Structure 1
Amino acid sequence: MARLTQKHYEQRLMLVMLVYMAVLFADGPLLRAATNLPLKALLAVAPVLPMLYVIALMWWRVRDSDELEQRTHLVALGMATALVSALSMVVGFLVAGGVLHWGGGVLIWVFPMLMAGYGIAYRQVARRYGMGNLCTGEGSAWMPWYFVLLALVMAGFGFNAWWHHLRGDALVFMATAVFFVVVAIRARVRQVRARQERED
């Protein structure tokens, strides 16, 4: 199996996330229209398939890293897992105690939160190990626009939720959209700085 470079990883990740968003958009109406229980179950779990590929991509990326980078990935993943697990327990107890009235749909956010936590923790751990930002110089030029696209999609979900009077969901989606806008701006700033450093 060929070595997975950072650029190839980003390109494949972007592609599979676009597939994931397309499945999400198409899945909702089909799921509401389905009356057959097995078909409904298949449609309900359809968005999981692209996420399984994301997990495989992450494994591939870690496998092809050197020992220091592998350690960085695993420490970051451990930190993110611990944080999300603790947060999930807090939310679970609040729901069990009747403080929050959230349904099972909130579980959809566990994996995205884990990935976001992993990304943040990775940068912190890499900085602590003196690795700097490994992705700055070799990241895809269109990575910021990918995050802008994610922000637009999340905003679309947010407006849709608001239209259907799901205020809590709308707030979460809009907050996620703002987060992706911030990430896009930071990615663009890093690219500009990296270009300036190469020119100097």
Structure 2
Amino acid sequence: LRIKEFKRSHALQRVQLELAFETAPRDSRYSNGLIDMMRKEELVIAKEPNSAATKSVSQKVDESLRAETRGFFSKSVQKNIKRWAVLKDKFDQETKQFTRELMIEARSHSNAKGSTAPLRNNRTPTPEELDEEADRLECDYNKNWYKYENFNLQEAFQSQNNRIENDWGAHERTLEEEFLARREKVAGPQYGRGASGTAASA
């Protein structure tokens, strides 16, 4: 029962951390340099929508927009990795303490009741044998807890990383749609959503 409660506590903490990742606001403020470039692009498009200079400015805006947006998500991933590492260290300390307590209890139990015969499949186990089996399972977890917890952390991190990648893709598509809509409004349909220009193909 104790080991189940212990593992349940760790599982709950992992879920709480994932929830914190999902609900935490992301810093998505673009640099003043990029904002100035976008304003310059609007002016250039209004004057010379099809010129080489306009295409060059548009390409720089697209590249900067993509780089800064990817940077937002990269920072988010790095912060999440650090928080996972902190949680793993916490689990490490808690498990070491838990293991010490179990070993003390196991020695006390063994000294009080003596050795117990291994469980057999052809009869109903006694309460003492059930205790022995529970101790064996706990010892197995104590020896291999790092593998179990590391697997759980990897799975949780991969899930979070996949979620961030999906968010990034959706965010990039939204930005592209908004950008092309603004361009179409300023420069006309040839630079809009159906255009084959730089932004549309990026």
Look at both structures and tell me which one has the larger radius of gyration over its CA atoms. 2
Please report the TM-score for the alignment, with normalisation by the length of structure 1: 0.28
Greater relative contact order (Cα < 8 A, sep 6+): 2
Please report the TM-score for the alignment, with normalisation by the length of structure 2: 0.28
